[in-house]
Amino acid sequence: MSTNTKRSTFFTELAGKLDGLREQGLYKPERVISSRQGSLVQCDDGRQLINLCANNYLGLSGDEETVQASIQATEQYGYGLSSVRFICGTQTVHKQLERAIADFLGMEDTILYAAAFDANGGVFEPLFDENDAIISDALNHASIIDGIRLCKAARFRYTHNDMADLEKQLQAAADKRHRIIVTDGAFSMDGTIAQLDKICDLADKYDALVMIDECHASGFLGKTGRGTHEHHNVMGRIDIITGTLGKALGGAMGGFTAARKEVIDTLRQKSRPYLFSNTLAPSIAGASLAVLERLSKSTELRDRLHENTAFFRKEIAELGFTIKPGTHPVVPVMLFDAPVAQKFAARMYELGVLVTGFFYPVVPMGQARVRVQLSAAHTKEQLQTALAAFAQAGRELGLIK
Ligand SMILES: *Cc1c(COP(=O)(O)O)cnc(C)c1O
């Protein structure tokens, strides 16, 4: 192999950059799990750990009822469709799921995608052009940012969760034909819940549309788990909702956009990740449908999640850790320094608790943390064991007294 060609330096440069990440403690390793997802997981080194870092808010990912629903859908509809929706990839179960999501969210219609990343990637370009303005929270999810980049509309960014700045941006966008405010319903790194009541009032005042990404809300925020719009009592005032089937709503994969019929019909005709990507597997559609039926009948899982969240937030603060205040099951335990967050997560692993350190560029510089995510599946005993591990690792690293 020659050593001096451009082609070989391409690979050496990549290896050098990866070494740089490792040296700075910024390299993200992947834990390998050999069991189902759940409040307890088995890692491939044989260890059993309490899992505090899944988006498995309602505990449905490894849940037997969900698994059986997916097997039953596979039996009935087969493994896959080998087609996009508009050629020969639409089955009864896809139509039923779209109806069920729309009803659950209180929207008129829904379109499915392979992921919420695709829903956000494919929502702006078909609906808005250079005459329009998209006004986006500065901390919106990467997929929203990418989706906006794919669209010709003028871009306005408001300081995270800052309603005064949002109003300024609405004024700056006043001469545009249509304005749409876009925000994560709940922000996954901080657990912040967007102020949708105020956002909807501003939208009314400046004649703007509102879109929310409900990936960290659908299924458990609001008194019957419909999401941030229910939490803030603005159901019926949101124009577009995107979300995922890959977190609380079963945890496999898949995404959706819910809106008025004319919006959804337009997306079916024009949205590129829908038109040029395979239909959702029947097993996922069938299991998601079963999940929505279950959540529509009972708030038991949602209620247990919120009890677990309140308990953990109270106890971790009493230990002396700094957390971001709030009520969301995302609980950021702030450690500020990236290598400390890495070390802390590694020590927690030894103590039998799975948490992940987050640091720049996933969160702002100097804001490193371990992010705890509660689940309805956690037992009180598991949470107490995890809190004892937090106390021990915190003392060992001199973070608490
Ligand atoms: C996870 C997430 C997504 C992506 O969801 P996938 O279905 O996994 O692609 C999009 N937006 C937000 C806010 C998320 O948290």
**3-class DSSP string for 126-176:** CCCCCCCEEEEECCCCHHHHHHHHCCCCEEEEECCCCHHHHHHHHHHCCCC
Q: Could you identify the atom of ligand 1 that is nearest to the CA of residue 117?
A: 9
Backbone angles phi, psi at 259, to 5 degrees: -170, -170
Considering only CA atoms, which residue is closest to atom 1 of ligand 1? 215
Count of beta carbons in the 10 Å neighbourhood of residue 335: 25
- The reported pLDDT for the residue numbered 295 is 98
Q: Residue 203 to residues 196, 199, 214, 224, 395: CA-CA distances in angstroms?
A: 10, 6, 18, 25, 48
Residues ≥6 apart with Cβ < 8 Å to 353: 49, 50, 52, 385, 386, 389, 390
Residue among 117, 160, 190 whose CB has most ligand 1 atoms within 8 A, to mutate: 117
CA 393 to ligand 1 center in whole angstroms: 31
- The reported pLDDT for the residue numbered 3 is 59
277 belongs to an annotated ligand binding site = yes
343 belongs to an annotated ligand binding site = no
Model confidence, pTM: 0.96
Give the binding-site residues of ligand 1, using a 6 Å CB cut-off: 115-117, 120, 141, 143, 184, 188, 213, 215-216, 244, 246, 255
What residues act catalytically?
188, 216, 247
- The reported pLDDT for the residue numbered 31 is 87
In this structure, are residues 209 and 178 in contact, taking their beta carbons and an 8 Å threshold? yes
- The reported pLDDT for the residue numbered 326 is 96
In this structure, are residues 130 and 153 in contact, taking their beta carbons and an 8 Å threshold? yes
* Alpha-carbon 399 to chain mean position: 29
Tokens linked to 94: 């896809």
Q: Low-confidence residues of the chain, pLDDT below 50? A: none
- The reported pLDDT for the residue numbered 107 is 98
pLDDT in tens, 341-385: 989 999 999 999 999 888 888 888 999 999 999 999 999 999 999
Q: Could you identify the atom of ligand 1 that is nearest to the CA of residue 186?
A: 13
Mark out the alpha helices in 78-115 (DSSP H runs): 85-88, 92-105
> What is the identity of the amino acid at 363?
V
- The reported pLDDT for the residue numbered 363 is 85
Element (H, E) at 389: helix 380-396
In this structure, are residues 166 and 158 in contact, taking their beta carbons and an 8 Å threshold? yes
Cis peptide before 361 (omega within 30 of 0): yes
* Torsion sign (Cα): 28, 30, 31, 33: positive
